Structure 1
Amino acid sequence: MASKFAQLLSDSRRALFTMLGIQAVIWSVQVLNWLDDYDLSTEFGLRSERIGDLPEMFTMPFLHFSWDHIISNSWPLFVLGFLAAYRGMRKFLLASLVIVVSGGLTVWLLESPNSVTAGASGMVYGYLGYVVLRGVLDRNVLDAVVGLGVAAVYWTILIGVLPVVHGVSWLGHLGGLIGGLAAAVLLRNQANQATRANQAAPKPAPAPADSRSALLKELDDLGL
């Protein structure tokens, strides 16, 4: 029990420092972007249907179009990113990759070719889906409680996956959310899955007793 708590504490520290580092990078890029009149967002944001722009799905989350834009994304990104990472950095990095690719491809395939998409909101939706579904799939009490808490606090932002707000990349939100849910399924705790499968499997019937041994026992009981 003590070793598990120590591991959780260590992973939580790494998650905290990781998210602080990501925030530092995003805000440093924002300052440079602002000084450059947001040309970085225009140049390294994602445009759809252009093969050469596909790599921009990896730069898109670090770029924003205004101070209001980055402020609205920073707090939920920090909280949900930390909750996604505190169970281990390997799964967090893999989940982040799935979310980036899912959100990026959704924008690249379906967004208008005349628009440029940038911002970390796709990652926010991705981490939201990942954290909520992870607790359900892994049947971990702490993760389940965390997932329920996140769902209760952030469920209202799900309207962002619908095309109802002008000027917001709802496709990026939807793609990120799908990526987060997919990552939770792909990275679910296999040990728990195996345990549940073993519990659900029918127990083998006892092997039939050797008929010759049974006959000899009966004869012995009769004194023969």
Structure 2
Amino acid sequence: MDSTFPSIAPGHIHRWGGAGLIVARRSDLDQAPLLTPAEQRVVRALPAWRQAEWLAGRVLAKRLVSEVVAAPASDVEILPRDDGSPHVVVGGSPMPAVNVSISHTTRHVAAALAPESVGVDLCETVSAAAVRRVADHALSPGELSLIGTDRPEVMAGAWALKEAAVKADRSSIFGDAARRIAILGLRPPVLGGRRRAMVWQAGDVVLALVLAHPATPPGLPGALSRGPAG
């Protein structure tokens, strides 16, 4: 059966619309990230079940930032803002033009980076039935009609798209924010407002990327500033 969304290969850095992103299986991440003292304090404050996924996200995000800004991963620090979204510090200096988003599932982790506000989200296709049961919290009747019921990856893609959009807006899927972001199309993805979006599939997980209020200034350093690519 053909995939609903284009495929994306795990373990490699991809670029789209000036953003960089990477998705990986958590079982393939055998390297613990080098943590700064501030990061160590953050992870120690997390419950035990949350620490492993937090560390997996930092492995990918530090690798992504390191390659984009050409700095050693040991110099990259990713700490939470007051709203919980990650912000980047390199060599002790904040990087306001480098925005990062991280997502986890039971078996996968993803990270994205862009010069504008960015959101990335993962949803496993096996979660589609559970997502449908709570979908009316985030999806309007019109969006549910657009999605239909035929394929689990479509529901997973719609949920990931909403999650990525509210992350890019530094908000939450729970509450009114998700309802204020309209899905106008899913194949290809189109969102209301000044947002660009893309959805991919990596095996049994769907990955959504949203760039909020994109502008046209210089992009990030290096190859990721050269524009869209699949």
Shorter-chain TM-score: what band?
A: under 0.3
Question: Between Structure 1 and Structure 2, whose CA radius of gyration is higher?
Answer: 1
Which one has a larger percent helix, Structure 1 or Structure 2? Answer: 1
TM-score w.r.t. length of structure 1: 0.26
Please, what TM-score do these two structures have when normalized by structure 2?
0.25
